[in-house]
């Protein structure tokens, strides 16, 4: 299980949640948290080192 957080376009943390999988985290972000009328919403995941990193939902595919 990993900890995810959602940031609004101003960089404010609007919610934090422990979620079992990256797929579930992405669904939580898209369906419940991100305001699709405004650009700049993002999600980060807490790493093993305690630092927050950008959540990449491409599963590493950057073609």
Quick: pLDDT tens for 35-58: 777 888 889 999 889 999 986 544
10-27: per-residue pLDDT in tens?
999 999 999 999 899 989
The answer to whether the beta carbons of residues 44 and 10 sit under 8 Å apart is no
Confidence class for position 63, pLDDT limits 50, 70, 90: very low
The answer to whether the beta carbons of residues 53 and 44 sit under 8 Å apart is yes
Q: What is the pTM of this model?
A: 0.78
Q: Where are the domains of the chain?
A: 2-54
């Amino acid at each position: 299980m990993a900890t995810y957080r959602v940031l609004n376009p101003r960089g404010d943390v609007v919610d934090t949640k422990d979620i079992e999988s990256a797929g579930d985290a992405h669904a939580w972000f898209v369906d419940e948290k991100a305001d699709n009328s405004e650009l700049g919403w993002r999600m980060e995941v807490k790493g093993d080192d305690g630092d927050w990193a950008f959540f990449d939902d491409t599963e590493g595919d950057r073609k």
